[in-house]
Amino acid sequence: MRVLVTGGAGFIGSHIVEELLTAGHEPTVLDIRPPVPGEPFAQVPWVRADIRDPQALARALPGMDAVCHQAAMVGLGKDFSDAPEYVAVNDLGTAGLLAAMVDAGVRDLLLAGSMVVYGEGRYDCLRHGQVRPGPRRVADLDVGRFEPPCPECGAPLVPGLVEEDEPVDPRSVYAATKLAQENLASAWARDVGGRATVLRYHNVYGDRMPRDTPYAGVAAFFRSSLEAGQPPRVFEDGAQRRDFVHVTDVARANAVALAALADRRAGSVRAYNTGSGQPHTVGELAAALSAARGGPAPEVTGAYRLGDVRHITASSARLHKELNWSPRVGFEEGVTRFANAPLRAV
């Protein structure tokens, strides 16, 4: 299969390119960055361009069997001033890609989605059952009340595993753009008879994460601190639940999902959570990384970011049942590997 991997030079994209090569596919990379000498995927066909460049897309897409769309601005960023760039790259870029795919006759799309579309995820109240808590209040966060209460009675809630059919509730600019990408893919599939799969990544970590950038994930923040000999700074109280999934498992999920696209019904879109299925807290990740690297113990700061949600963990049962995918790298093994793995400048 000939596959155009947008963002193929990035953290996740580069691992996907390697996985596709291993599986016998023919990937082509479209990325704003150049190949990095010495990296094993640097010899694949390469189009150096912004995802918003229509001429580059017109050159890259003819002859492709599918597109694996990874190019995006990620993370919470700095503040709302980032919003125009997020929308331009993630949504305008995706719209331009889909239009160019129509012109090139490419009808199979694998989209990098995100768990952020769920907002606070799933919660249960012992009295009221499953509920949807509203945004956390600044007054509560300022005094260290980080857990969202039941919107009906104010009682403590029990976080659970979110499934793909849960209501979406994006609570940041990045989250809004990721949901818009899914909606664009749905409209494209219905309009042209395309086939699309969305992998809603949970907290992906592993080698080649970018260092020292506000657009990286929490695992990269912790590793950057440890590399500088400083303690990882943990926001809130460190009890935030997340699903940390190793990048090699995510790359394999992409290869499996691409192979299955040919069996999908034209005009359809299917979303899959892509996580380990084993929740851990942010504090546990920081402590495990510090121990594995032999660095200073984490510092729990009590600080917070308004765009953060408290708990978001996945059920990846659909991906396992329908595409026969299961994660292979457990938390302890993955964190031990990541503790001394190389990071990237961007």
* pLDDT per residue as tens digits for the range 16-53: 999 999 999 999 999 999 887 766 676 799 999 999 99
Domain that holds residue 38: 2-121+162-340
How many domains does the chain divide into? 1
Q: Which residues, 6 or more positions from 137, have their beta carbon under 8 angstroms from its beta carbon? A: none
Assigned domain for 219 exists:
yes
User: Could you tell me which residues are beta bridge partners of residue 47?
Assistant: 30
Out of 5-19, 70-84, 138-152, 326-340, pick the least confident: 70-84
* pLDDT per residue as tens digits for the range 133-167: 988 999 999 999 999 999 999 999 999 999 999 88
Q: Give dist(CA 250, CA 341) in Å, integer.
A: 17
Closest CA to 215 of 10, 6, 32, 9: 10
Q: Give dist(CA 340, CA 20) in Å, integer.
A: 25
Assigned domain for 142 exists:
no
Inter-residue contact 11 to 208 (CB < 8 Å): yes
Predicted model pTM: 0.94
Quickly list H helices, the chain: 11-22, 54-60, 83-86, 93-104, 138-142, 173-192, 218-227, 247-260, 282-293, 317-323, 331-339
Assigned domain for 311 exists:
yes
Q: What is the CATH number of the domain that holds 264?
A: 3.40.50.720
Assigned domain for 146 exists:
no
Assigned domain for 131 exists:
no
Assigned domain for 133 exists:
no
pLDDT at position 249, please? 98
Task: Please give the span between the terminal C-alpha atoms of the chain, in angstroms, as a whole number.
Answer: 29
Assigned domain for 221 exists:
yes
What does pLDDT average to over the chain?
93
Inter-residue contact 133 to 151 (CB < 8 Å): yes
Assigned domain for 149 exists:
no
